Amino acid sequence: MPNKKNPDARATEDRILDAAHNVFVERGVAAARTQEIADAAGVNKALLHYYYRTKEKLADAVFLRVAVTLFPRLMGALGSDLPLRDKLRATIETQSKALAAAPFLPGYVLCEMRSNSDRLSKLLSEAVPLEEMRTTVFGKLQTQLDEEHAAGRLRPTSAQELVVALISMVLFPHAGAHMLEAAVGLDDAARQRLSAWRRAELADFLLRGFAPDAP
Amino acid sequence: MPNKKNPDARATEDRILDAAHNVFVERGVAAARTQEIADAAGVNKALLHYYYRTKEKLADAVFLRVAVTLFPRLMGALGSDLPLRDKLRATIETQSKALAAAPFLPGYVLCEMRSNSDRLSKLLSEAVPLEEMRTTVFGKLQTQLDEEHAAGRLRPTSAQELVVALISMVLFPHAGAHMLEAAVGLDDAARQRLSAWRRAELADFLLRGFAPDAP
DNA sequence: GTCTATACGGCGATAGAC
DNA sequence: GTCTATCGCCGTATAGAC
């Protein structure tokens, strides 16, 4: 609630959050310095304390905002009522667009969850109904996969298996960008070509992969 | 070279390196505390300085030992003279075995390279002939892919594309273990099932994926 | 080579004025 | 709500004895 001293206090809190987001995503929370965040937000360190109490709580706020955006987006696409192929294409398309806008988010989420999985997953599960969404989404998807199997178009396939394959191929080239650049020379241009390929081909690629042997 | 004070000085240096390895892999370098490393090695903090001067140099030593082990292992399998399908299977098999022994290494490498890619990739490229290995390995692989294409068994496929797909599907379930656990409920048991599936099926899965459309 | 003890610096947190 | 100033801790680095 703005007061007379600053009619736009909300904006400050948000500027801090945005600044923290940028610094945390770039450096990782552990290596990030609160001073750098304050500078980026154009405020004093003391204000971070005023709004967020501690660096950890600030990190939680940043993480939560990201996760609460990304997770439902993924689940929404996977849980739609589209037929299987369209659903895969839609999911890949949403993810690709999100990645084009923020290519480093997956790496950030991955790295932070790696060292703080307990705290962060608890945090996330308090904000969104993780379990419920998973059960309904995966339930529906599994039914589709079973139908495709019955129709002879897929081998027996678990929804989890398919989703992990999809996520791996979509996120890893970005999450592991630096690693892949060193290991296989995957530069920016190549990554963009790969992204274009995924949007056009990945759904069918996966369906071929899970298709039964030709008789 | 051991002296009379400690006939086994080399062992101390190695114990420190191993302890640092464990702590760095678990916490990430930025969040790791030298005290914890010293404790784990059963020595005093001062000895870390004696052998490695700074925490950063110690981190470099740990990273380098890991990277120098993993990278040639991958390239060795990919650069062998086996026919395509066997080569893929062999690569997957080596990687799977390495992952079974050290499931968290990919996440460690990924996260460290994420915030220190310049320093670390320079370090790595001074220790192993990155470029050369890549060119020969990818050259040979590309030839194989071209032959398969000419024989009508594959669509036009770039070696990089194939290798990135392979690495993504093998490493991501481990590197992003915590993230995937939260997002899709992938627990230890499921991860093991997935690993078994990869060893048995992934090579053929990829080959089907890159196969041409049925006529 | 290994230890004890300490110096040094920086970061997160906070008090208090405005 | 925002700032200046400062505290207190903790981690790294180092000196020096053995």
DSSP string, B88-133: HHHHHHHHHHHHHH-TTHHHHHHHHHHHHHHHHHHHHHHHS-HHHH
Distance (Å, rounded) from C-alpha B100 to C-alpha B106? 12
pLDDT at B68: 97
CA pair distance A14, A108, nearest whole angstrom: 20
Mark yes or no for CB contact A209/B214 under 8 Å. no
Mean pLDDT for all residues in chain A = 95
Supply the angle between the helices A55-78 and A45-52 in degrees, to the nearest 10: 60
When mean pLDDT is compared across A115-129, B1-15, B45-59, B137-151, the lowest value belongs to B1-15
pTM: 0.96
pLDDT at residue B2 in the model = 38
CB contact under 8 A, B121 and A182: yes
Q: Residue B66: is its pLDDT beyond 50?
A: yes
Q: What average pLDDT does the segment A79-101 reach?
A: 98
Nearest by CB: B165 against A163, A169, A214 = A169
Residue A4 has pLDDT above 60, yes or no: no
Q: Would you call A115 an interface residue with chain B, using a CB distance cutoff of 8 Å?
A: yes
Confidence of residue B1 (pLDDT cuts 50, 70, 90): very low
Residues A179 and B129: their CA atoms lie apart, in Å, by 16
Instruction: Inspect the interface and report whether the beta carbons of A184 and B113 lie closer than 8 Å.
Output: no
Does B167 contact A at CB distance below 8 Å?
Answer: yes
Closest chain A residue to the Cα of B185, Cα to Cα: A134
Mean pLDDT of A24-28: 98
Nearest to B84 by CA among B134, B170, B159: B159
Give the gap in angstroms from C-alpha B7 to the nearest C-alpha of chain A. Answer: 38
**Whole-number pLDDT of residue B3:** 40
> How distant is the alpha carbon of residue A45 from its chain centre?
29
Q: Which residue has the tokens 């060893």?
A: B199
Confidence of residue B6 (pLDDT cuts 50, 70, 90): low
Tens-digit pLDDT profile for residues A46-76: 999 999 999 999 999 999 999 999 999 999 9
- With 80 as the cut, is the pLDDT of residue B73 above it? yes
- The answer to whether the beta carbons of residues A171 and B176 sit under 8 Å apart is yes
pLDDT at residue A212 tops 60: yes
How far, CA to CA in Å, does A80 sit from each of A25, A129, A136, B180? 30, 17, 11, 20
Burial A58-79 (b: 16+ CB within 10 A, else e): bbbbbbbebbeebbeebbebbb
Phi, psi angles (nearest 5°) of residue A79: -100, 5
B74, B39 Cβ separation under 8 angstroms: no
d(CA A179, CA A202): 22
User: CB-based contact (8 Å) between A172 and chain B?
Assistant: yes
pLDDT at A3 over 90: no
Q: Are B115 and A27 in contact (CB under 8 A)?
A: yes
Report the residue from B71, B178, B197 with minimal CB separation from A113.
B178
* DSSP secondary structure code for residue B198 in this structure: I
Tell me: pLDDT of B214 over 90.
Answer: no
Chain B residues in contact with A111 by the CB 8 A cut-off are: 28, 107, 110-111, 114
Q: Is a pLDDT exceeding 80 seen at residue A165?
A: yes
Report residue A8's pLDDT band, with 50, 70 and 90 as the boundaries: low
Cβ(B88)–Cβ(B206) under 8 Å?
A: yes
CA distances, B1 to each of B4, B47, B52, B61 (Å): 10, 16, 16, 19
Nearest CA in chain B to A28: B115
Q: What value, to the nearest 5°, has the Cα angle with vertex A105 and ends B185 and A115? A: 60
The CA distance from A187 to the nearest CA of chain B, in Å, is 11
Q: How far is CA B188 from CA A49, A115, B193, in A?
A: 39, 17, 9
Q: Tell me the nearest-neighbour CA distance from A46 into chain B, angstroms.
A: 23
Report whether pLDDT(A185) > 60. Answer: yes
Whether the pLDDT of residue B7 is over 80: the answer is: no
Protein-contacted bases of chain D (C-beta within 7 A)? 1-5, 10-16
> Which whole number is the average pLDDT over B107-126?
97
CB B211 within 8 A of CB B154: yes
pLDDT digits (tens, 9 = 90+) for B75-98: 999 999 999 999 999 999 999 999
B117–A182 CB contact, under 8 Å:
yes
Over chain B, what is the mean pLDDT? 95
Please tell me the least confidently modeled range out of A110-119, A151-160, B1-10, B182-191.
Answer: B1-10
Average pLDDT of the segment spanning B25-45? 96
Q: What is the mean pLDDT of residues B49-54?
A: 95
A47 contacts: CB under 8 Å, gap ≥ 6: A12, A16, A38, A41
* Cα–Cα separations (whole angstroms), residue B31 to A29, A30, A80, A177, B152: 9, 6, 40, 22, 52
Residue of A nearest to B163 (CA): A184
Query: Coil, strand, or helix at residue B210?
Result: coil
Output the CA–CA distances (angstroms, integers) from residue A174 to A192, A194, B69, B96, B118, in the order listed.
10, 10, 24, 22, 17
Q: Is pLDDT above 90 for A191? A: yes
The set of residues, in sequence order, having a beta carbon less than 8 Å from that of A28 and lying 6+ positions away, is A108, A111, A112, B28, B30, B111, B114, B115
pLDDT band at B71 (very low <50, low <70, confident <90, very high): very high
Q: What backbone torsions phi and psi does residue A84 show, to the nearest 5 degrees?
A: -50, -55
pLDDT at A214 over 90: no
**A166 pLDDT more than 60:** yes
